[in-house]
Structure 1
Amino acid sequence: MRGERGTRTWWLGVGAATAFAVVAGAWGIARQPLEPYYAASVRSMAGSGHAFWFGAFDPAATLTMDKLPGAFWVQALVVAVAGPSTTAMVLPQVVAMALAVVVLAVAVRALTGSPAAGVVAAMVLAVSPAAVGVARGNVADPLMILLLVTAAWAVARALHTGRPTPWLAVAGLAVGLAFQAKMLAAWLVLPALAVAFLVAAPVPLGRRIAATAVGGVVTAVVSFAWIAAVSLVPAGQRPWVDGSTDDSELAQVFVYNGLGRLGAQNPLQELAGQGLALTAPGTGAEGPSIARLLVGDLGRSTGWLAPAALLALVVGLWAVRRSPRTDPRRAAYLLFGLWLLVYGVAFSAGAVVNVYYVATLAPAIAGLLGTAFAHLLEVRGGAGARLAAGAAVVVTIAYSAVLVLRSEHPVVTPVVVAVLLGVGAVGLVATARRGALVTALVAVLVLPVAATGWLLALGGGAFDTPYESVREIRAVRVLLVAAPRLAAGTLPGLERSRAGAPDLMAVQSAAVASVFAAPTGDEVLPIGGFTGIGPTPTLDQLRADIAAGRFHVVLSFPSTDPRFVWVAEHCRAQRSLDPTFQVHVCVPADATRP
């Protein structure tokens, strides 16, 4: 009877957490503004197999996205079936995060052997503002997160079998697929997976090393499979690789999206350097430092339970220091602890961190708290355990209250409720009464749940954070709402100027081109790639397109780039509604004039 009740509680708990993730993610998504660059790319990829395979930004497949296309393949498939819409582009992320909640619950249960640990982890992930926000946008991170927790589940299975190699291969497959979704960001989980297995697997050291090597080889093969396949295609038969200067996917991944993000200008900053007054919303005002993850936008996105998770990691590892090497709790603390620390260091060092990046920390925080909760259930009579639990409640509620009260929208009621519950929880924990830990869990979740509710009431998505400032709300709306609406208002005039040409227009920067291409699906030739300074198309190619009548309107920034200098000298200038841009109308005869 007890086993049946435990099974029923497990399914009810995980089911409730999953249902919350689905409802919160899907709430009002039909009205959710899309990131236009990704939306335009997905429409292009949904339009043809050629554009789909190569991850082309534009329907004519002159240029790839500036990222690997794995996550956007899923969105493109849904759009190809259901048609282009906000729901079709966002729903895959909602589903991915809901599945991540389920898989994390199973992984934590498999690691620790405790159903309670899995249920708590699922609940913490489901209510995390970062996890809810990232699911409500057309970004790549939810699929990566799902694949990373799948890799953690595979490692958990490997830790409980005498034949771990196949499970390490499954973990490598999951990380390799995650690489297709978010490139090097996926590989940051590898130290956590490897160390947890090497330390705690119940097989001799030689077999542990061999199995880990197999997992690493599978990761590398799957990660590079698409890049290798694309590299075999002659350059003239595929789009130019954006983000590279030599038409190389490796340069795009390891330089433009890799080491180039550490201490250097990111692509949005390079774009702004061309004269476009563009502010990327949701990047946090704090510069590179560990503190940036605990304050401001990033803290209010995923920091709520981070102090409790770090405390759980330190106390948990100390508590199992004399346990056998194969203690599953040690494996869980190592896996999720290193996951949290490695990603935390990476996000701390990045020049600019979008708020939706830090959603990757949420599964690690959830896994640590689930593991600690189950651990405390086992030793709740110990004075040290009671002290640690009480300290975690006090620190977490105090820190979360500061996050709320130091925002521009302080909400006193949930803070008062959390404090009152916290006082009661600490009292119960001190007396080791039954239900004390459940009360403590509810107390520390009050403020994250309130923050998620604020985000949903705002109609926020991947670029938003709870209690963000009015300035940041406006920045998000300008980028995701106002700019696309302004571009849409110019489409009738552009259609007249198009005069039957195959392409709607040519625009400096794929980022700017996307606001015209996303609502129509038309070819808007991107000049200079995302940053507007890339080498494609060349001046000769641009002149050939003009001579062929491919387009008539060229939109650019004031620039010394030879391509735009030539356009300004040979084509007819038009009045621009925004001094940031120059508009020229070109006819085939202009291409032949000296």
Structure 2
Amino acid sequence: MKKLSLKKMDWYLIGILALAAFLYGWGIWDAGSANSYYTAAITSMVQSWHNFWYGAFDPAGFITVDKPPIALWFMALSAKVFGVHGWSIVLPSVLAGIGSVALLYKLITPKFGPWAGRLAALVMTLTPTVVANSRTNNMDAILVFFLLLAVYTLTKAVSKKKFWLVLIAFALVGIAFNIKMLQAFMILPAMLVFYWVAIKLPWKKKVLWLLAAMASLGIFTVAYPAAVDSASSTSRPYIGSSQTNSLMELAFGYNGTERLLGQTSGTGGTFGGMGKSSKKTAGNGAAPAGTKPGGTKNNSKAAPTGTGTTGNAPTGNAPTGNAPTGTAPTGQGQTGAKNGAPTGTKPSGSKKGGPSGTKPNGKMGNPGKGGKGGMTGGGNSAFAIGSAGPFRLFQSDLGSQIGWFLPFAFLGMGAGWWAFRKKGGKWYSISEEQSDVLLWAGWFVPVYGFFSVASFFHPYYTIMLAPAIAALTAIGAVAIAKMVKEGGEKQGMIAKALLAVTIVATTALQAYYAWSYYPLASVIIVLLGLAVAGLWFVNKIIATKLKIVLSIIVVALLSGFWALTPTLSHTSAAIPNANPSLLSSKGSSDMGGSVDSELLAYTEKHQGSAKYLFATTDSNSASGYIIKSKKAVMAIGGYNGTDPTMTLAQFKKLVKSGQLRYFVIGNTKASTGDISKILSWVKKNGTKVSYSSSKSSSQSTGMQMGGMGGSGNSTLYDLSSAAK
């Protein structure tokens, strides 16, 4: 049995992993509810295997969240072991982030050497959006880990020519599909090209293995959705954010074409500031009111019970806490939006509270700018994704989160392909190193293209680019070093010139992102970039190793500071981002997790034998109650308030059976179809309740439903008289 030698350990890597652990994990004890929408689901999932399997949003299993539950399974298991705390639900993302850094090192080192692996790991660690994503309970950090694991498995399969490893590699992409659906398939072009050019097999065997790999991908992709969709709608939760109560429809609709086109689920409209149709949206970023839900309603089926035994709507215990306030959280770089849902309120800004890389005035940009739509404002706005086009990722909105090393990524594709070519070989002869360049370029280019044209995503989704940018940056660096060392005087000068231009371009881009916060620092970083670039043309005075160290420090300085801001502020946000505005306030906030204690006390006291503490329009109006009380609140319209979960007749039956006594009406702007009919019926037949001890609250019912669900005063209705 071999003993682990301390001398063989890569202490540089260990230091980078320690840095990642600090950046991703420090202060997560202040995570609070992080993304309360998913935290509510985790709270529900730890209560029963039924809820765990389906990813139920509420303890009664009435409706699911808007994604498959695999990432939530890890979080729920952590919560089951350690209890439901902010840090325990965030812990799986922290570990996934660290694991991604380690996997990237393992992927780059075999072909390009340990220094390339270390550089890739460092760039990944210091990418701001990676830090922000690894500190919250959204799915993205875990998704990236599984995708890197798939690519790592494929590289092993290619080098060892192992059929079963090929199957596992593509199966892992299928599993990743059940984390965040079609987003996982973005790397399939890279894997397919790499497999085809890199594996040394007879072409017939190569084709057969590939067909088997596609079958493996297909099986692991559809197995879970098929199992869920085949279950009776009366024995499982309604599939949140779908219009036909189908997980497959959710994958290709709300989480598929709607992401590209900027449409909102169930409204047929688009979000304000998203894509070409931004001018057609309703105010305040909410979905247009009065539009007919898209898709076929599933009204012929009974409302889901969550119990598997009856056709009635699910029941459960009431949540404790306070109703959401409706005030957007400040200082946390978020506007009260979640994975692709409308905010319902306009984001507000304050001095230096604006998005990173733009003037911090907190104002929204011009939707439809340049005819392409989009918003300005950087990472501080949930929908600030810039103007669509080939340079969108260089703009401050997205670039301040992901763009810090973009020039080096482009250098890596070009210089990497040239420096590692087979000299004297035929033009179509590809070296092992070039096959890896194809792999990372194949990851980078399609994802870059998607974010350049898509209309419906958040800035933090760009973490999908982080591994490819980090890998290509490292490949570009070693490619330049190889060209300088082996290419002769002329090629060496060209290589140095390429490196110098890339350093200057990178520092200038970073200065652009930082200018609105730190003009002086921006000037200094550009001057340092020029100085370091010039050093590469000074021979025999400064050692090459020192030039390399100075270059890395200068290029990573501002990115490292940006990446540090969520850590220093202990932020675990529902809309993860990194920028200096976080430093003005400490701790995390979410978009719908606050509750009204007086409403809670009143409804708990008078709940009686009813299953639900109350029903409300949308998930963010219910999440805080579920988290605090671990009891059931019905989010009748799902996340956006537009899901056709039941008909008015089914709702009346639920009330008449005594399972539901109270209803809280908050946001109604996005409500359409049967949901709108239900709200009208509640207003007409319910009795308004004054539950607050304060004068102002007793007059207005004292509650603001916040977060994505909407804003404005909300009213508590007692439906017991309507049940008679």
Amino acid corresponding to residue 561 of structure 2 in structure 1: A
Q: Which moved more, 1:224-233 or 1:278-287?
A: 278-287
SS in 2 for 1:178: helix
Deviation at 1:235, TM superposition (A): 1.8
Deviation at 1:500, TM superposition (A): 5.7
Amino acid corresponding to residue 261 of structure 1 in structure 2: R
In structure 1, C-alpha distance between the alignment counterparts of 2:385 and 2:420, rounded to whole Å: 39
Is 1:189 aligned with 2:300?
no
Equivalent in the alignment of 1:585: 717
Is 1:546 aligned with 2:655?
yes
Equivalent in the alignment of 1:272: 286
Give the percent of matched residue pairs that are identical in Structure 1 and Structure 2.
Answer: 26
Q: Which moved more, 1:21-30 or 1:534-543?
A: 534-543
When normalised by structure 1's length, the TM-score is 0.90
Is 1:505 aligned with 2:622?
no
In structure 1, C-alpha distance between the alignment counterparts of 2:536 and 2:598, rounded to whole Å: 61
Amino acid corresponding to residue 579 of structure 2 in structure 1: Y
Amino acid corresponding to residue 701 of structure 2 in structure 1: S
Contact 1:241 1:247 in 2 (8 A): yes
Equivalent in the alignment of 1:356: 460
Equivalent in the alignment of 2:322: none
Deviation at 1:231, TM superposition (A): 2.6
SS in 1 for 2:137: coil
In structure 2, C-alpha distance between the alignment counterparts of 1:58 and 1:398, rounded to whole Å: 48
Equivalent in the alignment of 1:62: 62
Deviation at 1:487, TM superposition (A): 4.0
Is 1:124 aligned with 2:123?
yes
1:443-487 Cα offsets, whole Å, 9 max, x none, are 2111111211233333334524343669x999x97x716x53354
In structure 1, C-alpha distance between the alignment counterparts of 2:137 and 2:584, rounded to whole Å: 18
1:92-111 Cα offsets, whole Å, 9 max, x none, are 1000110111111101123x
Amino acid corresponding to residue 559 of structure 2 in structure 1: P
Deviation at 1:499, TM superposition (A): 4.8
SS in 1 for 2:610: coil
Q: Which moved more, 1:264-273 or 1:176-185?
A: 264-273
Misfit runs of 4+, over 6 Å: none
Deviation at 1:376, TM superposition (A): 3.1
- Give matches, 1:360-371, under 5 Å: 360-371=464-475
Equivalent in the alignment of 1:44: 44
Q: Which moved more, 1:12-21 or 1:208-217?
A: 208-217
Equivalent in the alignment of 2:164: 166
Equivalent in the alignment of 2:73: 73
Contact 2:64 2:240 in 1 (8 A): yes
Equivalent in the alignment of 1:329: 433
In structure 2, C-alpha distance between the alignment counterparts of 1:278 and 1:38, rounded to whole Å: 20
When normalised by structure 2's length, the TM-score is 0.75
**Aligned counterpart in structure 1 of residue 679 of structure 2, from 564, 569, 578:** 564
In structure 2, C-alpha distance between the alignment counterparts of 1:397 and 1:8, rounded to whole Å: 36
- Give matches, 1:513-532, under 5 Å: 513-532=622-641
Q: Which moved more, 1:134-143 or 1:150-159?
A: 150-159
In structure 2, C-alpha distance between the alignment counterparts of 1:214 and 1:373, rounded to whole Å: 37
Equivalent in the alignment of 2:532: 424
Q: Which moved more, 1:321-330 or 1:267-276?
A: 267-276
Contact 1:74 1:92 in 2 (8 A): yes
Deviation at 1:138, TM superposition (A): 0.7
In structure 2, C-alpha distance between the alignment counterparts of 1:493 and 1:17, rounded to whole Å: 52
Deviation at 1:497, TM superposition (A): 4.6
Amino acid corresponding to residue 360 of structure 1 in structure 2: M
Amino acid corresponding to residue 456 of structure 2 in structure 1: V
Equivalent in the alignment of 1:452: 563
SS in 2 for 1:554: strand
Contact 1:304 1:448 in 2 (8 A): yes
Deviation at 1:305, TM superposition (A): 0.2
In structure 2, C-alpha distance between the alignment counterparts of 1:402 and 1:27, rounded to whole Å: 28
**Aligned counterpart in structure 1 of residue 223 of structure 2, from 222, 225, 230:** 225
Equivalent in the alignment of 1:100: 100
Q: Which moved more, 1:279-288 or 1:229-238?
A: 279-288
Equivalent in the alignment of 1:440: 551
Amino acid corresponding to residue 121 of structure 1 in structure 2: A
1:248-275 Cα offsets, whole Å, 9 max, x none, are 1110111111012222333594982377
Contact 2:42 2:76 in 1 (8 A): yes
Equivalent in the alignment of 2:404: 304
**Aligned counterpart in structure 2 of residue 467 of structure 1, from 579, 584, 587:** 579
User: Is the alpha carbon distance of 1:488 and 1:174 closer, same or farther for their aligned partners in structure 2, counting shifts above 3 Å?
Assistant: farther
User: Is the alpha carbon distance of 1:454 and 1:371 closer, same or farther for their aligned partners in structure 2, counting shifts above 3 Å?
Assistant: same
Deviation at 1:279, TM superposition (A): 4.7
1:218-261 Cα offsets, whole Å, 9 max, x none, are 11111111112223322211111122222211101111110122
User: Is the alpha carbon distance of 1:191 and 1:527 closer, same or farther for their aligned partners in structure 2, counting shifts above 3 Å?
Assistant: same
Amino acid corresponding to residue 591 of structure 1 in structure 2: A
Deviation at 1:43, TM superposition (A): 0.8
Amino acid corresponding to residue 286 of structure 2 in structure 1: A
Tell me: higher relative CO, structure 1 or 2? Use CA pairs within 8 A at least 6 residues apart: 2
User: Is the alpha carbon distance of 1:294 and 1:458 closer, same or farther for their aligned partners in structure 2, counting shifts above 3 Å?
Assistant: farther
Q: CA RMSD in A?
A: 2.8
Question: Number of residue pairs matched?
Answer: 580
- Give matches, 1:372-411, under 5 Å: 372-381=476-485, 382-405=492-515, 407=516, 409-410=517-518
SS in 2 for 1:555: strand
